[in-house]
């Protein structure tokens, strides 16, 4: 499948504007690409009880699953940082649940883009 990286990153960046981040002011957006070509977005949603905060990547995966997608091929993440900021371990593992091979694109305010495979970010995924 051809991945339009620029479009996927633009979608994640646009989504980040809807993040609910009143505590950290760290608005993150994510866009996941399903194997059927559909794109789903998510944003971080903070909570006064920090442990209840939802990351943008997991929110995007939940939107995809809710719509019936079960296989993801790529994710774009936008972070409000000068350099790309990698997803947390929990998000990496949730992404791995729905992807055997996945491209991960991380954009930031400086327009720098980091590209990885999920295997590079999570080399020893938990499998059941």
Active site residues: 57
Q: Which helix (H) or strand (E) holds 42?
A: strand 39-43
Which residues are within 8 A (CB) of 52 and not within 5 positions of it... i.e. 6 or more apart? none
First to last CA, the chain: 27
- Summarize the annotated binding site for substrate as residue ranges: 44-50
CA-CA distance, 51 to 20, in Å (whole number)? 15
- Summarize the annotated binding site as residue ranges: 44-50, 55, 88, 91
- Summarize the annotated binding site for Zn(2+) as residue ranges: 55, 88, 91
Q: Structure tokens of 16?
A: 């980040």
DSSP-assigned states of every residue in 58-120: HHHHHHHHHTT---EEEEEEEESSSS--PPPHHHHHHHHHT-SS-EEEEEETT--EEEEEHHH
């Amino acid at each position: 499948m051809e991945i339009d990286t620029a479009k996927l990153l633009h979608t994640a960046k646009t989504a980040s504007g809807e993040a609910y981040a009143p505590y950290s002011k760290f608005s993150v957006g994510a866009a996941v690409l399903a194997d059927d070509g559909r794109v789903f977005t998510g944003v971080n949603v903070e909570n006064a009880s920090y442990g209840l905060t939802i990351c943008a990547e997991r929110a995007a995966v939940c939107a995809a699953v809710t719509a019936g997608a079960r296989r993801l091929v790529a994710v774009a993440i936008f972070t409000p940082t000068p350099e790309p900021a990698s997803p947390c371990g929990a998000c990496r593992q949730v992404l791995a649940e729905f992807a055997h091979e996945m491209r991960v694109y991380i954009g930031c305010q400086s327009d720098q883009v980091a590209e990885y495979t999920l295997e590079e970010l999570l080399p020893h995924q938990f499998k059941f």
